[in-house]
Amino acid sequence: MANRLQELRDALVQRNPAGITPLLELRIVEASLVTFRKQAIEASQQLQKSLFDINLLRGKPLDSPLELSHTELSFPGVPAMDSLLAGARMGNFEIMMRKVELEQQGFKLTLNENQRWPAVSVGPFIDQDQSAGRETIAGIGVSLPLPLWNRNAGNIEVAKARSKQAEVSLYLVQLKVEQSVMETYLSFQLHNKEMGMWQKDSIQKFREAADLGDRHYRLGALPIATYIELQREYIGALASILDVQTEALDSLLQLRVLTQMELGRSKPKTKSE
């Protein structure tokens, strides 16, 4: 869009506009050009930052080029809320960690409870008395430490407290994950519903309208205000469409992470297409 306005501005300057109306139209185009150039700079910066982030994930040098093939996003229907919640309870990484922690605390509690009574050892013994005519005494001996009462009460109480803490932690994490699943599911449904209301060629129609307005303004058949508003609305509509698609895709990927379920992927076009 900035390039289009720059070309239009150059064409208007070459006409050497005379009169107040052509001069004001030129200034409107120049002012709009400044705005669109600023947006183009911000978009270029964001693109470069995204390229750096992707190269970091790929393990490539930051300035490595990246070629993206054209991808037609397809957003399949996701399972019902109950299925997503069940998948999160079974496969979510945070919940699984808390479950393992709870099991470990349970093992420690059981071990401490088994150690609350002193160890008793039983075994045979033989005693020979040389002074009493080589008398030999054989029997079974039992040995145990004193005292006989529970010697591990403190450790048991600590283990019980940690086990209860792990149980509460699991409960809280599960609530947090379920809330995230519900919020992300509703977000995806809203964005997916919005995309379902669009026409498949919406972007193409907006682009054609912008091109048509540009041609008619150059021919003098379109006021400058209508022309600028048309170009601005085209950029705004295009940004809104891409934002909705991005947010829907982000929600879909978040659901996959939260539930560890395959919920569909974007469908790339084949070479023939």
Q: What is the pLDDT of residues 85-100, one digit of tens each?
A: 998 998 899 999 988 8
Name the token pair of 11: 């064409």
Collapse the DSSP code of 132 into the 3-class scheme (helix H, G, I; strand E, B; otherwise coil) and give the result: helix
Question: What are the phi and psi torsion angles at 99 (to 5°)?
Answer: -65, -45
- H-type alpha helices, the chain: 2-14, 20-58, 81-91, 93-114, 153-196, 202-218, 224-259
Predicted pLDDT at 232: 83
Collapse the DSSP code of 97 into the 3-class scheme (helix H, G, I; strand E, B; otherwise coil) and give the result: helix
Residue ranges, the chain, pLDDT below 70: 1-19, 21, 70-72, 112-123, 125-139, 141-153, 264-273
Question: What are the phi and psi torsion angles at 78 (to 5°)?
Answer: -90, 160
| DSSP states along 5-38 | HHHHHHHHHHT---SHHHHHHHHHHHHHHHHHHH
Q: What pTM, to 2 d.p., does this model score?
A: 0.65
| Distance separating alpha carbons of residues 29 and 13, to the nearest angstrom | 11
Q: Which amino acid, one-letter code, is at 97?
A: M
Q: Which amino acid, one-letter code, is at 234?
A: Y
**Environment class of 184 (CB within 10 Å of its CB; exposed 0-12, middle 13-18, buried 19+):** buried
Name the token pair of 118: 């002193």
Report the 10 Å Cβ neighbour count for 29.
21
pLDDT tens profile 230-250: 888 888 888 888 889 889 989
Cα angle at 149 between 145 and 154, to 5 degrees? 105
Report the 10 Å Cβ neighbour count for 95.
19
Predicted pLDDT at 102: 84
Q: Which of 57, 81, 76, 77 is nearest to 259 (CA)?
A: 81
Predicted pLDDT at 26: 73
Predicted pLDDT at 230: 83
Domains and CATH numbers, the chain: 1-68 (no CATH), 80-263 (1.20.1600.10)
